[in-house]
Structure 1
Amino acid sequence: MFFIAVDEDIRLQLVNDSIVPRYLELLEESKSYLSQWLPWPTFCNTEEDFKAFVKRSLHDYAEGKSLTCAIEFQGSIVGNISFNAIRYDLKMVEIGYWLGEPYQGNGIVTRACQFLCNYAFNELGMEKVQIAAAEENLPSRAVCERLGMTLEGIITNKEKVAGRIVNHAIYGLKNSNISTG
């Protein structure tokens, strides 16, 4: 199993079947919170659903298309972070993440994203990192701003979440703008 240490509190673990029970627990305790911003909690809510997610994620990882990891904070899995897309042709990656509601406000996502930004630039040779967040998801947008990302624009009518149509705020970070903090 592969783990990457982000810092003394955070590790990233390549998704695998052993994380499925914990993802189900996180979904149970944070479903209403996660469902505000993400479409998947309404249709990915069984062990079989999460196992299919893991299988698909590992297949895409093997093909170099993505990298999906569980976020471990102080020894407990608390969420997920990924390069949703690795675009070598464009020298760009797209980061996505979610975190169980009880773990919000500890800087976990910001630190994990900072690590992935550095990894994208220094290990994968990328020139750009992009994050899309629902326009009204201010905590997620604050992560992008703490990373020093630039708001590149708002894409209207991008996704249907919890019965409503949401716009996406698109943030970008170029290799020359990276913050090392």
Structure 2
Amino acid sequence: MLKFNAYNIAPIEIQDAWSLCNFIVANEDRLKRYFPKTLEQNLTPDLSKFFVQKKVKQFSLKEELLFTIKKNESGELVGLVYLKELDWDKKQGEFAYCIGYPFERKGIITKSINTLSEYAFTNLGLETLQIIAHKDNIASVKVAEKCNFIWKRTLNNEFTPSGEKPLNMELYELYNEIEI
């Protein structure tokens, strides 16, 4: 478990299913464009239970790492951070993240990405971290910039939201500075 300010970051656990379902349903409108698969897999407590079981297994196999962000005192789930598209040969992974409505604009995701970047470099041996964001998703772009990710290029037709045309996305990268 990683801690900062009044929050902690931890790997998803089986007992998170109920709170995950509540979080997803409460934030459905903000998740439907960029997190459609997470949304559809967590619309009921039973779906969330299966989802969490799958994510716990993927975490243990280091296929995809899903972290929860919770308030220290109450244990309330306030956000999620995925470390996905893991390529252990290239030592590379991609962050995806979301925060609940009441917790936006508080720097929680920025602090989480900074904390998890250090964790990924130090504990997982990754050398390149990526964030892929749409240019109009200003909050996500600001997270990338505040966490010292560098804009690399536009990825044409990279992501297709449900019922929309493919979107160009912006690729940002952060590198582990290896000291010699």
Q: Which category describes the TM-score, using the shorter chain as reference length?
A: 0.7 to 0.9
Out of 50, 57, 61, the position equivalent to 1:63 is 61
| 1:155 matches 2:167 | no
Measured on the aligned residues, the alpha-carbon RMSD in Å equals 1.9
| Residue 42 (structure 1) shift | 5.2
| 1:175 matches 2:176 | yes
TM-score (norm 2): 0.87
Deviations 1:69-110 (A, max 9, x none): 111134321111121133220011211111112210111100
| Residue 158 (structure 1) shift | 1.9
| Residue 128 (structure 1) shift | 0.8
Out of 51, 54, 65, the position equivalent to 2:52 is 54
| Residue 48 (structure 1) shift | 2.5
| Residue 27 (structure 1) shift | 2.0
Query: 1:41/1:92 Cα in 2 relative to 1: closer, same or farther (>3 Å)?
Result: closer
Unaligned 5+ runs, structure 1: none
SS in 2 for 1:176: coil
The separation in 2 between residues aligned to 1:84 and 1:65, in whole angstroms, is: 8
**Number of aligned positions between the proteins:** 174
The separation in 2 between residues aligned to 1:168 and 1:92, in whole angstroms, is: 18
1:61 aligned partner, one-letter code: F
| Residue 41 (structure 1) shift | 5.5
| 1:85 matches 2:82 | no
SS in 2 for 1:169: strand
1:65 aligned partner, one-letter code: E
SS in 2 for 1:65: coil
